[in-house]
Structure 1
C-alpha cells in the first residue's frame, strides 16, 4: 500500500529515541524508497526527560508545506505527548501509545493502538532502550507507509554490525505485536 502524502509525529520524552525514529523512517522513505521527505525536530529545554518530538512528511511529489498539520500517524511515548497530540490525529489516522508511560489514553478521532513497546523491548532484547526500534516495527506494520523490508533495512543500516541482531529482534517484535492487533 502506498500513500501519496503521509504525515507522522513521534512524541515523548528526551532519551526515548524520538529523533532516531524520525531519522530511520526518513531514511526508509527518502533514502531507500526515493520519496520526498521533510523531517523536523523539536526539543524541550532539558537534555533528557524533557518533551521532544520528531515529525516526518512523506510524499511522492514535492512537499509544498513543510509542517505536519493533520498527522496520519502519532506515536505518544509519554502522558504529556498523548494529551498534547491526540487531538491532532486525522480522523482516518493512527494513534499509537506505550501503555507503560501513557496510563490515561485520551479520546481521539483516529484508531488507537496500545502496544507495550518498552516492556517488549525488555523481554526480547533485555534492554529497554530498544523500545524505539520495537516502535519502528509496530509503526511499519500499522501504517504500511513503507514496506516492512525497506523499514527493516533502514533500521539495520542505522546500527553498527554488532548491534544489528539485537535491533532486528526488537524490530521483528514490534511488527509481530502490531500485526496481532490488526488481525
Structure 2
C-alpha cells in the first residue's frame, strides 16, 4: 500500500527515516493501520520518535486504542532489539493517531472523514458547516447545514460569505481549510 508518509529528519538522517518507514510499515499494516507520519526530534541527548498511525482511507471510524497499543509494543520491541535503527543513546517512542483536530489536507483525509460534520472554508473565502456525504473521484459531496446563530462581538466586521444550506459539491483543490466539527449527542 503506497502512502504519502510525512517524514522529518531533524535528528535522524533522511536515509534512516526511509529505513524506519520500511521496517515499521509491515508491522503497522499487520494490525490493519497505515503509517500517517514519522517524525524524529532531539531532546537533549535523547531522540523522540513520533509515529502517527491511522485506519486505511476506505474505512470510517477511528483506530482502536488496543490496536495502537499493540503496534507501539511491537515497534518498541523492534527498536530495543536493533539499536542501529535510530542510533545509540536514549530514545522515546510515541505511537498516536492523528486525532480529531488535525486539518484535512489530502484526499485520503476526506475519504476517512465521510459521514462526519466538517467546518470548511473554500479558496474564495466562503465558509460552511456540512456533512461530508461522499467522495467521488476528487470531488467532495456535502449536505451543508444551516449554521447556528452566533451573536457577533463586533458588528462592524464583515461576515464571511456562507454557502447556502443544502447539497453542495466541490473539488478537493477548492478547499482552503477543513476540520472535523465535534458533535455532542
The structure carrying a bigger strand percent of its residues is 2
TM-score, reference length from structure 2: 0.30
Higher RCO, 1 vs 2 (CA within 8 Å, ≥6 residues apart): 1
TM-score, reference length from structure 1: 0.30
The structure carrying a bigger helix percent of its residues is 1
The structure with the larger Rg is: 2
